[in-house]
Chains A and B, each alone.
Chain A
């Protein structure tokens, strides 16, 4: 169903990048916003979203870590939905940055925990792909 080597992982999570570097096509980004921008650009250039680009419960101005899985667009994919999602998520991110910017000085242990949570999400999705 899926060609695993065609799966793209866009991430600023070092744990996810390290774990999946030999499994997915990994794009490492510098921060949360650049992950969302790269995701949007990939959607516009012919990729479909495999995972929702927005986290759950962890607000976009709380966690500094994000990972998104994409796949080359196939017949029947909902390109319009993905374009809207990728754009909406960016707008929601900017909205939350106006409420309060994401802290840039998390202790290493806290950053490490955010990475663990994000990796758990990607692990769950990878399982759905048969990894």
Chain B
């Protein structure tokens, strides 16, 4: 499967009469985009706002972050099974991506809410979306809307706007094109027979309301582990429905721009042979955890892999899936490297993960979420700071009357994201 990803670099977003991309500026017809969101009768209000790097602006509570992409050739549509048809599959042909800009969905879904993006100040150093131009989609639900229905409406609102923007830029000539290709298994192995065969075990959050992920429209807790071409993910085969833990939430943006896949492709044919992605989940049911980690081990062996990289989403019982996957893959004679983040307390001295195994001998850390930071007051808040104290990382009394607050960095979107799309790392000396 071969995908040409055309990148159009966006340096600014501005509201205008016609939605288009011209000279690196994304012009957006605000009313048209808002009306698109309000086609969902469960949402009574939608307001688009622009947040630029360097602005004295705070965005919270953030539900999802999405990079606009559109299929140009090759069949299928972005976000198959969600807003595009489920068939044909995606991941081949040509896709256009608007780089440097995002769609950020903002809304009050539950009382303890989601995370924070600061566009300037000290917290901006911890968030990749402090460096992008963000079109914020602030939504308001109808009175009494049930939480599951609201989550779905919020999820679709962001995806629809991203899809709308990218389709309006479909004919733009990309500034840069990168080609990614993975061959069918036997051909892929034969292409670089001398190089170690490496797979990527991608664990999806799948625990229930606000802890879910979708794969071609399937709720991830419903499937058993499977294999997929890495390029399918770049076309939106996986979307996020998780909106609880900001720091290590894998947003839809992170699925589209998975850094493990990007780096494995950059090493592909040089010092390793990137074979495929093994997709699995993180269910609450222990029998699922056992069965699916067994299946991951079997698939790694069956594919003839020499090594795998495993990433997880979230903290707590997913650490058990992570360790089960590690142990059972190693038991099949396949080497494992883990990527995760840590929660060892403010002093960094407590146990970092909720589970462990003797097989976990190679682990890259993406930072620790318990570190605290003083967040300055901002001139403008997109959304609301009403719930800062009960958001993950905040505490009663942490916010000051001027809007500044102290909190753990786990309140920042993607600050310790457990696939490495961040700047934090732990190093041994």
Q: Which residues of A are interface residues toward B (Cβ below 8 A)?
A: 49-60, 62-63, 78, 85, 88-89, 91-92, 95, 98-100, 103, 105-107, 109-114, 116-117, 120-121, 123-125, 128
Contact = CB atoms under 8 A, between A and B. Distances in A.
Contacts of A114: 111-112
B370 A120 contact: no
A59 B315 contact: yes
A51 B242 CA distance: 20
B221 A124 contact: yes
Nearest to B354: A92
Contacts of A60: 316
A88 B283 CA distance: 19
B355 interface: yes
A116 B109 CA distance: 12
Given A88-B355, A109-B111, A110-B111, A58 B245 contact: yes
B221 A62 contact: no
Contact of B354 (A49, A50, A54, A121): A54
Interface residues of B, number: 44
The 6 closest A-B pairs by CB, nearest first: A110-B111, A120-B209, A120-B208, A57-B245, A52-B317, A113-B110
Interface string B370-403: 1000000000000000000010100110000000
A88 to B, nearest CB: 7
Interface in B300-324: 314-318, 320
Nearest to A108: B111
A56 B314 contact: yes
Contact of A99 (B245, B316, B345, B355): B345
Nearest to A49: B286
Given A57-B242, A58-B316, A128-B285, A106 B111 contact: yes
Given A52-B320, A106-B390, A112 B244 contact: no
Interface of B: 110-112, 147-148, 205, 207-211, 221, 242, 244-245, 248-249, 282-290, 314-318, 320, 343, 345-346, 350-351, 354-355, 370, 390, 392, 395-396
Best-surrounded residue of B211, B316, B350, B395 (most CB of chain A within 10 A): B316
B244 A58 contact: yes
Given A85-B320, A121-B284, A124-B221, A57 B205 contact: yes
B317 A116 contact: no
Nearest to B221: A124
A56 B315 contact: yes
B406 to A, nearest CB: 12
Contacts of B354: 54, 88-89, 92
Contact of A95 (B350, B390, B392): B350
B284 A124 contact: yes
A92 B350 CA distance: 9
23 contacts: A50-B287, A52-B286, A56-B205, A56-B211, A56-B314, A57-B211, A57-B249, A57-B315, A58-B245, A59-B343, A62-B112, A95-B350, A95-B351, A99-B350, A100-B395, A103-B395, A111-B111, A116-B147, A116-B209, A117-B110, A120-B148, A120-B211, A124-B221
A113 B112 contact: yes
B284 A51 contact: yes
Contact of A57 (B314, B346, B395): B314
Best-surrounded residue of A78, A99, A111 (most CB of chain B within 10 A): A99
B351 A59 contact: no
B351 to A, nearest CB: 7
